[in-house]
């Protein structure tokens, strides 16, 4: 195979090719590094590239493979991850100036698991400062750009992972999701992304944004690719008590439309009246019609009032972020972006009783939401963002400010943050394209610990529609993309 074409393979394809010996890990790693050098200036997805170490590890994988010693399902596959996961002896910036020189004294559990599976770590990926923001703006490391059109947002806070995977710089990446931060970047870059059930994936060694709401999840190009990386990282971890005492991780079974037949899909009733842009609402209807043709039963659902969920999540996030950042806010306030600092400082004004009430209210809201919605459906279909993808300029709160821009940014997480509060598993997947040529992604949400079912549903939809196979123009061999 022409080395230029290797990065265009899916995660599943390249993993199989390396395991079979058809492609060497060194060749795959070098091909990704070549694309990063040639193309990342356009999307600004990487903060650090560890080329020498990655190639050395790839060479070790090739030697092991020659001896018949495959390390695991991701043997020799180049990946990269949001710059918020500790790796012993390396700097993890969190997209901030404050952590720019902090060298980790441990390796995050999920990186250990990926290492044991044989994955190659190419470096660290850009993000909104301290994972605080749904757009991908960053005043310290530069804004991240959408892979389909560089004038548009890459989404946040996992902007670098989304832009890198969509631009075919890496095959998959890990991000975090506190209110939208895997789902929005995946959706606006035409990717498939997962926010697992709260506590399903260890956060040990991950920079916290909000202990009570943080989730770690993968971004990839398909449900099958998601399953490959999710199967490696999911499961209990004694170093993260939130992962303990949970059901075993199930592996999805792909290749059949049977999962769709008879499935009750909850469709949002009155989407436009709830603030969904007509173009997105129409695509939502079209997606529902496709699922119906595949054998699903569509059920109109009226969502509970989302405002209490949104407000409760805001109190928890702001309170916990303020506690995490309190010392830095006092000693290094000048080292924050102004808008990020203002958002975090707002948590200092929240009282302990308000925070405790929010924690008390959270399980009640979750119980009532699950009973109300999933009493009549098996899987819920919602917009990931309720409008066509906005531009970087339209959402630049830091440099332009203004109530209009704040209003646009505030709408982005309207249908994502409530699901983070509840802790439900969600897979966002490409479902079409808007008139401006940018992807439209929708959330497939289920009951707790139903990640396997959601991946099966999304995979069946992807085999029928193929939206996930429509790449951005940057996703081409170097000879034509450069």
pLDDT in tens, 46-94: 999 999 999 999 999 999 999 999 999 999 999 999 999 999 999 999 9
> Given 181, 212, 319, 420, which residue is catalytic?
181
Which pTM does this prediction carry? 0.97
- Please compute the mean of the pLDDT values over residues 429-450 and round it to a whole number: 97
> Where would I find the H helices in 189-304?
223-233, 278-293
Residue 207 token pair:
């920079």
Residue 26 token pair:
């060194």
The whole domain housing 351 covers: 3-481
Which pLDDT tens digit goes with each residue over 167-209? 999 999 999 999 999 999 999 999 999 999 999 999 999 999 9
Could you tell me if 430 and 192 are in contact, meaning their C-beta atoms sit under 8 angstroms apart? Answer: yes
Distance CA 75, CA 128 (A): 30
> Given 10, 12, 45, 82, which residue is catalytic?
82
Residue 427 token pair:
């897979």
Residue 106 pLDDT: 98
> Given 12, 25, 117, 157, which residue is catalytic?
157
Residue 481 pLDDT: 61
Q: How many structural domains is the chain composed of?
A: 1
Distance CA 274, CA 127 (A): 30
Angle at the Cα of 385 from the Cα atoms of 379 and 390, rounded to 5 degrees? 160
| 181 classed as catalytic | yes
| 82 classed as catalytic | yes
CATH of the domain at 337: 3.90.1300.10
- Under the banding of pLDDT at 50, 70 and 90, the label for residue 455 is very high
The answer on pLDDT for 482 being more than 60 is: no
- Under the banding of pLDDT at 50, 70 and 90, the label for residue 121 is very high
Could you tell me if 197 and 451 are in contact, meaning their C-beta atoms sit under 8 angstroms apart? Answer: yes
Which pLDDT tens digit goes with each residue over 292-329? 999 999 999 999 999 999 999 999 999 999 999 999 99
């Amino acid at each position: 195979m022409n080395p230029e074409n290797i990065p265009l393979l899916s995660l599943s394809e390249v993993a199989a090719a390396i395991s079979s010996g058809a492609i060497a890990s060194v060749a795959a790693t070098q091909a990704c590094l070549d694309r990063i050098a040639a193309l990342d200036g356009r999307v600004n997805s990487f903060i650090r590239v560890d080329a020498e170490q990655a190639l050395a590890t790839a060479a070790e994988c090739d030697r092991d493979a020659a001896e018949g010693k495959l390390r695991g399902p991701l043997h020799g596959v180049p990946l990269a991850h949001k710059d918020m996961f500790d790796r012993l002896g390396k700097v993890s910036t969190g997209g901030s100036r404050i952590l720019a020189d902090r060298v980790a004294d441990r390796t995050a559990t999920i990186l250990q698991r990926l290492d044991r599976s044989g994955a190659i770590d190419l470096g660290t990926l850009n993000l909104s400062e301290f994972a605080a923001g749904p757009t991908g703006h960053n005043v310290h490391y530069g804004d991240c750009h959408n892979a389909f059109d560089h004038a548009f947002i890459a989404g946040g806070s996992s902007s670098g992972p989304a832009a890198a995977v969509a631009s075919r710089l890496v095959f998959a990446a890990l991000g975090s999701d506190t209110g939208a931060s895997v789902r929005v970047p995946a959706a606006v870059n035409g990717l498939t992304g997962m926010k697992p059930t709260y506590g399903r994936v260890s956060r040990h060694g991950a920079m916290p944004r909000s202990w009570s709401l943080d989730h770690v999840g993968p971004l990839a190009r398909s449900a099958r690719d998601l399953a490959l990386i999710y199967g490696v990282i999911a499961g209990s971890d004694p170093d993260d008590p939130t992962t303990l005492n949970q059901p075993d991780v199930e592996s999805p079974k792909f290749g059949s439309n049977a999962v769709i037949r008879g499935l009750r899909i909850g469709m949002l009733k009155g989407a436009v009246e709830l603030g969904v842009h007509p173009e997105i609402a129409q695509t939502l209807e079209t997606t529902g019609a496709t699922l119906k043709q595949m054998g699903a039963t569509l059920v109109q659902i009226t969502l509970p009032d989302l405002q209490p969920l949104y407000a409760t999540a805001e109190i928890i996030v702001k309170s916990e972020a303020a506690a995490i950042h309190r010392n830095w806010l006092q000693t290094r306030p000048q080292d924050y972006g102004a808008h990020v600092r203002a958002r975090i400082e707002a948590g200092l004004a929240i009282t302990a009783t308000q925070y405790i009430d929010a924690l008390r209210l959270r399980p009640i809201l979750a119980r009532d939401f699950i009973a109300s919605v999933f009493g009549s459906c098996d899987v819920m279909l919602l917009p990931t963002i309720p409008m066509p993808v906005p531009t970087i300029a339209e959402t630049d709160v830091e440099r332009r400010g203004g109530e209009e821009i704040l209003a646009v940014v505030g709408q982005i997480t309207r249908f994502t943050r409530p699901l983070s509060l509840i802790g439900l598993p969600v897979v966002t997947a490409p479902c079409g394209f808007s008139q401006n040529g940018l992807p439209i992604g929708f959330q497939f949400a289920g009951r707790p610990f139903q990640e396997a079912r959601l991946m099966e549903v999304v995979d069946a939809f992807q085999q029928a529609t193929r939206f996930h196979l429509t790449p951005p123009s940057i996703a081409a061999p170097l000879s034509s993309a450069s």
